[in-house]
Every structure is written in C-alpha cells, then in structure tokens.
Amino acid sequence: MSIIKEFGTRLRAIREHNNLSQKALVDAINKTLGLNLRRNTVSNYENGISYPSIEVLRAIVTILDTSTDYLLAIENRNDSGVKKSLTERIELTFSELEIWRRNIEWLLELREKAFGEDPQVEAYLDNIDKAINPYSDITLGKETVTMTDRLKLADSASSLKNNIIKDFDELFREYFLDVQYPSKVKKKFAPPSNVTSML
C-alpha cells in the first residue's frame, strides 16, 4: 500500500475512533488554522486523492490527539497505548513526589516546633505544590492535558524528583545531621532552591 493510501486509511480510523465526521474535522482544521478548506478535503485525504500540507497535518494530529508517526505509518500502533503508558509513568512519579513533599513538610513541622512559625515555610511549600500540580492534573484524569504536555511532563519527571530529594537532603542535613546545630541553625528559614529553580 502506498504511503498516501496508508495515511488515508489511518486518518479514517483515528477520525472515527474520535467520533468525528469528515465535515467536523474540516471545520476544526479551518477554525484552528484560520483556513477555508472545502468540505470534501478530508474525504480526499482518506481516499488517497490528495494529502495535507505540513501545517494541516500538524493541526490534524493535535485535533485527533495522535502522532504524525502513526498517521504516516512510521509506527504501527495508535497513540492511545503511548498515552496510557505515559500517564502510568506520570502517575507513579506523582505518587513519589507526594511522598517526598510530605517528608519535607514533616521536617518543616519539626523545625516550626523548635523555632516557631515562619511565613517563608508556607511560601516554599506553595512553590513545591506549584511544581507538582501539573502531574496531579493527569492523575485526576483531566483529558484536557495534551499528548505534547504529557511528553514534556514525562521528560521533566526525573529532574523534578531529583530536585525535590535534594531539597529534602539539604533540610535534613541542616536540621538533623549538623553537630553544631544549636549554634548554627538560622531562626529565619532559608528555603532550598532546587525545586523552585525549575519554576
């Protein structure tokens, strides 16, 4: 099968999987790109009569939440499998990040018992939450998170996890491992900057 025919077959399959008519897809492309494609454009793509420009192809990929690799027959599976795998990885990362966040909060509660409240502590925890929140959107099953966003989050997951662990280590060393703790610990909280540097 030629690549144009294969493209048409896959486009039809993924369009129908998304419960979109040919007209609805043309309308979505026109709206996304500000074009005025004719009603039979998608029919022509699916029947191998014509093929889209790169700009239109990118719009199709975004609208149908798939990949160019799938549509151009470079890979043999649809993105639903990839999406599921990415979501599972991100959910696992979110669970780990939540554990480390709770560990940090525990350390800071102990610090507060020794030195009293400090507004910087709350601001620091808010920044950690800000860094973790994009992962929780996926965990809560929000379908508005695009495949591109999922890929970015999966790519940055290990850096964020490493940085939150570094923050924990710095706090633990400062408050529990330093033998000169009584004289050295500052009463004013100076937050670690590993996580906040990623914001």
Give the span between the Cα atoms of 25 and 60, in whole angstroms: 8
Chain-centroid distance, C-alpha 163: 17
> For residue 188, how many C-alpha atoms fall within 13 Å in the half-sphere facing its CB?
1
For the chain, what are the domain ranges?
3-71, 80-198
CB atoms closer than 10 angstroms to residue 30: 16
pLDDT at 68: 86
51-65: burial string, b at 16+ Cβ within 10 Å, e else: ebeeebbebbbebbb
Q: How many residues does the chain have?
A: 199
Residues sharing a CB contact under 8 Å with residue 49, sequence separation 6 or more, in sequence order: 43
pLDDT at 80: 60
Give the span between the Cα atoms of 151 and 135, in whole angstroms: 12
Q: For the segment 16-41, what is each residue's pLDDT rounded down to a tens digit?
A: 878 899 999 999 999 999 999 999 99
Mean pLDDT value of segment 174-179: 70
Q: Of the given ranges (65-69, 121-125, 161-165), which has the lowest mean pLDDT?
A: 65-69
The region, left, alpha or beta by phi > 0 then psi within -120 to 50, assigned to residue 48 is: left
Query: Percent of the chain having pLDDT more than 90?
Result: 38
CATH superfamily of 3-71: lambda repressor-like DNA-binding domains (1.10.260.40)
pLDDT at 2: 77
Q: Answer whether 0.85 is exceeded by the pTM.
A: no
**pLDDT over threshold 70, residue 148:** no
Give the span between the Cα atoms of 166 and 128, in whole angstroms: 13
